[in-house]
Chains A and B, each alone.
Chain A
């Protein structure tokens, strides 16, 4: 059997032909359907909601009492609510709010959990034990409870310093949700650090007399990025759900903000008058959560260390 089918161009010794990084990255992304679908949906949502918010058919807060409880029609695509407000406009307006809430909350979570998890994982010993017990105490409190607790401190906090609040950006629920998710994320990142702690290149750094700060941020962190990204991606969905729940309980956004959770809350009194007040925000919420889930899951598959390709992404 001839060997010709295996012979390729002879290259100078040691040279590895590299297709451009972007190309390999692109190939990687296209190989995972979950991720692609999730990504497309999110991009669609982002673009659609931002363009849509600029060109709403109706003012989302304006009352049109005459047309209240109307069914979906050519005039009002999703129908109207109890105040005659166009549900479609309100749903579209709610999208960027929800996405911003999800992403900002995760941002806060990561800012807390990444340094904490990395250092405590790397140091180990008694410090790690102590910190983890405190961490465990927080995890033991159910997330929703924790978020409620934190947000109930809002009024007292507002007495001391007021954070800028707009209708589409309310920092208090964001911070509450962010802090709530931090302990669990810390655990995950800590275990990644513990794995890496035993790698020989970390030993090499310790042997060089490097400081802990250097080792954590220069040796360990670059290798933990995949874990961080995946953790973040998955948490966005949780954050959105919690945000909706808080709004539903009246502790997140306040009327007349078109937050989906709030819309669902308001809808429950009018179920017999018109189901559309409930249906559309719910569908929108599920849709967004599923998109972020697919995105996060797909991302985890791609960045699975078992795929050697993970090393291509920095």
Chain B
């Protein structure tokens, strides 16, 4: 790694003009990346990390302006380049990869042509030459069958393949600096693992400097050499990734590392340590250290002075003025913590028996979407259903958390909605307290709607923007519990207190609340009905990392207090492992494995479960987990593979039997079922 810096940013300040005032999105920001180095920029929403990328590309929105500092690319001041020079830099010497490949690619031009355009623009050559080079690029990013893939349109490729194409376009001209802005956030865990592997490989081949921006600490740990942590527009810590993760020198970094659930072989159900408070409003920044309102170690001096980024060791920087003092304090706490953990480990193991008297049973449930019209059937076209849920059977135990895990398109959300009668099922039955939910009388139906509630994923759209919080919470109380007047009012206040919000919130509208606060209202609304069963459809996926932990803790708390069964749907394995008693793993509409948390997360595994576990990027940079990668595209739910659904991508496929016969249920221990031929 040479010390010649490819990009140097010094004291950069960038602002956005909004109707409410100027927002300092990036303030006094300094960064440099050397040749061949991968720098990870970590931060949550509003931290300013994307703004940094756009400043480098000089692509700020109309209302954005650089008001201070400088950005030098190989000693050339980027801010003073004129349009012509800028064009020569963009794409050729600095390239960028964005989050959503579907919108980064032009849907009406073939992918080969899009890569070809990059060559035509920057390096010239005849049509045939540039075409050959773009096919070559596709090969370099490991796209299957490059010559014919080059003639495909973006929508004909999967998300992972699209992102590879975008990466190919970015690397086409061998840029000196490659910027990746959340490139894997929109992808499934297994696809993400493949893309990260790809970036590893390309790093060695291309020797570009890489600026990798993400909020996912696990991903950062995997790809970066050095990282910088941003909070509310400022860089608050910087240094080599292994050192920082082993021993952070800023309370925010420490908080982030603590509030993320980790995948472990024997999960403990210790509460996550969330960072209290919420991200600051960039228009009303706290005085002194911007992190002090949420810092567990805050003191008067933190409120008075604004700390600057100072060198704190070998190549490390921190913006905490009291880092030395806190270091010694932490070492002391560390020993305490280890003792506490040992004590917990001695606690009696959770009972393994699965309770009888289950709340709900699903038997051979199928949900198909679509299908063809009568006309098409007459003409002779083949049946065209989307097999969203294809023969699923299991039971929900009362008062326990059932986690359903799977990647996008596996049918988990569909199943959740079927429970709540938002969708009806094509075949099979779902029974509640012994009765089929679609055969209820009106009274039973009303009881069912009261007993079964749902918490949605997106806090922004799950609350009616025209209603006050009071109205939103009062509705289920009026509807299910017939509360009126002062009873109603008091219960609303109780509900708010239950989710740790002040009573004053009831006169507010949803747009006046933060994402985390809105999700708390969603939770309050679900618990307002005094349900027995709550479907949680990815409730924390849309929230920032530091907020997720507090929401998960709240959910667990309430679940335990009210003894409510939860059906927790998520694609995030670590979250599901942390919360659940029982877990189900779904793939393409079918269950692969189901059992208690400890059983599923320790061997024997279904091959898909094993691949999922190895794909989750760990925040422990020292950890070596066996890397299992799934190769091949996810089959379409319209035409699922015969036999075992997973056989097209299974690294442990036995042979023909996997293609022909449905996998049998193997039950190593009562309650733990694996659907696989391996254990026949």
Seen from chain A, the residues whose Cβ lies within 8 Å of a Cβ on chain B are: 1-3, 6-11, 13-16, 18, 199-201, 203-204, 206-210, 219, 222-223, 308, 311, 314
- How far, in angstroms, from A168 to B453 measured CA to CA in the complex? 56
- How far, in angstroms, from A7 to B292 measured CA to CA in the complex? 14
Segment among B278-286, B316-324, B615-623 that sits at the interface with chain A: B278-286
Q: Is the CB of B479 within 8 A of A208?
A: yes
0/1 interface trace, chain B 69-112, chain A, CB 8 Å (1 if under) = 10000000000000000000000000000000000000000000
Residue of A nearest to B448 (CB): A209
Tell me which residues across on chain A come within 8 A of B517, comparing CB atoms: 14
0/1 interface trace, chain B 434-458, chain A, CB 8 Å (1 if under) = 0000000000011011000110111
- How far, in angstroms, from A7 to B445 measured CA to CA in the complex? 54
Tell me which residues across on chain A come within 8 A of B511, comparing CB atoms: 308, 311
Residue of A nearest to B462 (CB): A200
Tell me which residues across on chain A come within 8 A of B448, comparing CB atoms: 209
Segment among B214-222, B362-370, B463-471 that sits at the interface with chain A: B463-471
B contact residues, total (Cβ < 8 Å): 53
**Nearest chain A CB to B472's CB is how many angstroms away?**
8
Q: Check B506 for interface membership: any CB of A closer than 8 A.
A: no
Q: Check B476 for interface membership: any CB of A closer than 8 A.
A: yes
> In the complex, which of the residues A1, A14, A223 contacts B68, with contact meaning CB atoms closer than 8 Å?
A1
> In the complex, which of the residues B283, B287, B463 contacts A201, with contact meaning CB atoms closer than 8 Å?
B463
Q: Check B54 for interface membership: any CB of A closer than 8 A.
A: no
Answer whether A206 and B285 are a contact pair too, CB < 8 Å, given A14-B502, A201-B461, A201-B462. Answer: no
9 interchain pairs, CB-CB under 8 A: A6-B27, A14-B278, A200-B462, A204-B462, A207-B454, A219-B464, A222-B464, A222-B466, A222-B467
> In the complex, which of the residues B27, B417, B466 contacts A3, with contact meaning CB atoms closer than 8 Å?
B27
Answer whether A314 and B466 are a contact pair too, CB < 8 Å, given A13-B277, A207-B421, A207-B453. Answer: yes
**Nearest chain B CB to A217's CB is how many angstroms away?**
12
**Nearest chain B CB to A21's CB is how many angstroms away?**
11
Q: Check B420 for interface membership: any CB of A closer than 8 A.
A: yes
Residue of A nearest to B445 (CB): A209
Tell me which residues across on chain B come within 8 A of A200, comparing CB atoms: 456-458, 461-462
Tell me which residues across on chain B come within 8 A of A3, comparing CB atoms: 24, 27, 285, 290, 306
Tell me which residues across on chain B come within 8 A of A8, comparing CB atoms: 283-285
**Nearest chain B CB to A31's CB is how many angstroms away?**
9
- How far, in angstroms, from A18 to B287 measured CA to CA in the complex? 21
Q: A13-B277, A200-B462, A209-B421 are in contact. List 18 more A-B contacts (CB 8 A).
A: A1-B11, A1-B28, A3-B24, A3-B306, A6-B27, A7-B285, A7-B286, A10-B284, A13-B278, A199-B461, A201-B463, A203-B422, A204-B462, A206-B422, A208-B475, A223-B466, A311-B511, A314-B466
Nearest 6 interchain pairs by C-beta: A209-B449, A222-B466, A200-B462, A201-B464, A200-B461, A207-B420
- How far, in angstroms, from A209 to B444 measured CA to CA in the complex? 12
- How far, in angstroms, from A13 to B279 measured CA to CA in the complex? 11
Answer whether A208 and B462 are a contact pair too, CB < 8 Å, given A1-B11, A203-B422, A203-B456. Answer: no
Tell me which residues across on chain B come within 8 A of A308, comparing CB atoms: 511
- How far, in angstroms, from A313 to B25 measured CA to CA in the complex? 29
- How far, in angstroms, from A9 to B28 measured CA to CA in the complex? 22
> In the complex, which of the residues B277, B458, B465, B501 contacts A311, with contact meaning CB atoms closer than 8 Å?
B465
Q: Check B293 for interface membership: any CB of A closer than 8 A.
A: yes
**Nearest chain B CB to A14's CB is how many angstroms away?**
6
**Nearest chain A CB to B70's CB is how many angstroms away?**
13
- How far, in angstroms, from A9 to B24 measured CA to CA in the complex? 16
Residue of A nearest to B442 (CB): A209
Answer whether A16 and B512 are a contact pair too, CB < 8 Å, given A223-B465, A223-B466. Answer: yes
Q: Is the CB of B454 within 8 A of A223?
A: no
Q: Check B505 for interface membership: any CB of A closer than 8 A.
A: yes
- How far, in angstroms, from A248 to B504 measured CA to CA in the complex? 60
Q: Check B548 for interface membership: any CB of A closer than 8 A.
A: no
Q: Check B509 for interface membership: any CB of A closer than 8 A.
A: yes
Residue of A nearest to B27 (CB): A3
**Nearest chain A CB to B202's CB is how many angstroms away?**
37
**Nearest chain A CB to B61's CB is how many angstroms away?**
14
Q: Is the CB of A10 within 8 A of B286?
A: yes
**Nearest chain A CB to B174's CB is how many angstroms away?**
36
Q: Is the CB of B467 within 8 A of A6?
A: no
Tell me which residues across on chain A come within 8 A of B529, comparing CB atoms: 208
0/1 interface trace, chain B 20-53, chain A, CB 8 Å (1 if under) = 0010100110000000000000000000000000
- How far, in angstroms, from A209 to B465 measured CA to CA in the complex? 20
- How far, in angstroms, from A204 to B459 measured CA to CA in the complex? 12
> In the complex, which of the residues B277, B464, B475 contacts A223, with contact meaning CB atoms closer than 8 Å?
B464
For chain B residues 256-290, which have a beta carbon within 8 Å of chain A?
A: 277-278, 282-287, 290
**Nearest chain B CB to A8's CB is how many angstroms away?**
5
Q: Check B13 for interface membership: any CB of A closer than 8 A.
A: yes
Tell me which residues across on chain B come within 8 A of A204, comparing CB atoms: 454, 456, 462, 525
Q: Is the CB of B24 within 8 A of A6?
A: yes
Tell me which residues across on chain B come within 8 A of A9, comparing CB atoms: 284
Answer whether A208 and B13 are a contact pair too, CB < 8 Å, given A10-B286, A223-B466. Answer: no
**Nearest chain A CB to B425's CB is how many angstroms away?**
15
**Nearest chain B CB to A117's CB is how many angstroms away?**
18
Q: Is the CB of B449 within 8 A of A208?
A: yes
For chain B residues 372-427, which have a beta carbon within 8 Å of chain A?
A: 417, 420-422
**Nearest chain A CB to B282's CB is how many angstroms away?**
8
Q: Is the CB of B284 within 8 A of A11?
A: yes
Residue of A nearest to B537 (CB): A200
Counting chain B CB atoms within 10 Å of each CB, the highest count among A1, A200, A223 belongs to A200
Tell me which residues across on chain B come within 8 A of A18, comparing CB atoms: 512
Tell me which residues across on chain A come within 8 A of B306, comparing CB atoms: 2-3
- How far, in angstroms, from A9 to B11 measured CA to CA in the complex? 26
**Nearest chain A CB to B299's CB is how many angstroms away?**
16
- How far, in angstroms, from A204 to B517 measured CA to CA in the complex? 18
- How far, in angstroms, from A162 to B459 measured CA to CA in the complex? 55
Answer whether A1 and B467 are a contact pair too, CB < 8 Å, given A203-B456, A207-B453, A209-B446. Answer: no
**Nearest chain B CB to A144's CB is how many angstroms away?**
38
Tell me which residues across on chain A come within 8 A of B525, comparing CB atoms: 204
- How far, in angstroms, from A311 to B463 measured CA to CA in the complex? 13
- How far, in angstroms, from A16 to B514 measured CA to CA in the complex? 11
Residue of B nearest to A3 (CB): B306
**Nearest chain B CB to A73's CB is how many angstroms away?**
53
**Nearest chain A CB to B635's CB is how many angstroms away?**
27
**Nearest chain B CB to A223's CB is how many angstroms away?**
6
Tell me which residues across on chain A come within 8 A of B512, comparing CB atoms: 16, 18
Tell me which residues across on chain A come within 8 A of B504, comparing CB atoms: 15
**Nearest chain B CB to A170's CB is how many angstroms away?**
37
Tell me which residues across on chain A come within 8 A of B454, comparing CB atoms: 203-204, 207
Tell me which residues across on chain A come within 8 A of B449, comparing CB atoms: 207-209
- How far, in angstroms, from A39 to B227 measured CA to CA in the complex? 56
- How far, in angstroms, from A209 to B517 measured CA to CA in the complex? 25
Tell me which residues across on chain B come within 8 A of A199, comparing CB atoms: 461
**Nearest chain A CB to B634's CB is how many angstroms away?**
25
Q: Is the CB of A10 within 8 A of B465?
A: no
Q: Is the CB of B458 within 8 A of A6?
A: no
> In the complex, which of the residues B27, B285, B466, B508 contacts A1, with contact meaning CB atoms closer than 8 Å?
B27
Residue of B nearest to A28 (CB): B19
